[in-house]
Amino acid sequence: MKRVLVFLTLFAAFIAIPARAQGIDTSPPEQPVKLIFIHHSVGENWLTDGYGNLGIELAANNYFVSDTGYGWGPDGIGDRTDIVNWPEWFTGPDSERYMQAVYNETNQRSNYARHFGDPGGENTIVMFKSCFPNSELSGNPNDPPDPGMDYSVGHAKYVYNELLTYFGTRPDKLFIVITAPPVQNPTYADNARAFNDWLVYDWLEENNYTLNNVAVFDFHNVLTHPDNHHRIAGGGIEHVNNGANT
């Protein structure tokens, strides 16, 4: 996890760039922007000062960061962050209550420094990440979206397609998908790679999603090999994959 330090600054710039942005400006926002990160243990490590350092890097770039974790929120919704759980957060019968809690959250559940006080208002950026077991997706790499089998490539695609119905109602927010970290077991490595590539390259286009309020950061990719990247370079978004999957 300590190699995450290499791309922290680039990630801080990346989050300000919606998936379909035409011009890339990597300068920090002039006014503080409130961001919340929905995660479990790997996300906590990434945020923590002296380890992943994401929290302090974001603060240095004028983001006021809050986060959720195990046990957080109404009905303990923070316990449930697998891919199959995201509809409960964003589109389910209690999603309005859950999301209002997300937008209003100002507390920290991880150990990272803040450079300034709460600027007020709701969280504008929502980052959300499933943990590494969600890289063990059954099925085949090119399976189409499927409402059936839960932990599969097809069902994961189906879930993310459904989330767009909510994201489309909130053009005032920026939703950033953080892909699930890899696992060392290679059994489903090709499936995880294919699904995350689909999120990066095909998800929004296949759904004709035209709003500039959804982005994907391929965390899985940058953790699979030292030379894999998802970053801003040469004035553009660079997604480098040398083929390593675990």
Instruction: Identify the three-state secondary structure at position 214.
Output: strand
- Tell me which residue of 146, 136, 133 sits closest to 192, measured CA to CA: 136
Which residues neighbour 96 within 8 Å (Cβ) at sequence distance 6 or greater? none
Whether residue 33 has pLDDT greater than 50: yes
**211-244 burial code (b ≥16 CB/10 A, e <16):** bebbbbbbbbbbbbbeebbbbbeeeebeeebeee
Provide φ and ψ at 54, rounded to 5°.
-65, -40
For 143-170, how does the pLDDT look when each residue is reduced to its tens digit (9 = 90+)? 999 999 899 999 999 999 999 999 999 9
- Tell me which residue of 120, 118, 68 sits closest to 98, measured CA to CA: 68
Report the mean per-residue pLDDT for the chain. Answer: 88
* pLDDT class of 230 with cuts at 50, 70, 90: low
For 191-201, how does the pLDDT look when each residue is reduced to its tens digit (9 = 90+)? 999 999 999 98
Q: What domains, with CATH codes, occur in the chain?
A: 2-240 (3.40.50)
Residue 7: its pLDDT value, please? 43
For 103-122, how does the pLDDT look when each residue is reduced to its tens digit (9 = 90+)? 999 999 999 999 999 999 99
Q: In this structure, what token pair is assigned to residue 212?
A: 């500039």
pTM of the model: 0.89
10 Å CB burial of residue 11 (0-12, 13-18, 19+) is buried
Cβ atoms 22, 219 nearer than 8 A: no
The Cα–Cα gap between 77 and 81 comes to 8
Cβ atoms 49, 112 nearer than 8 A: yes
Cβ atoms 32, 116 nearer than 8 A: yes
Instruction: Identify the three-state secondary structure at position 241.
Output: coil
Whether residue 55 has pLDDT greater than 50: yes
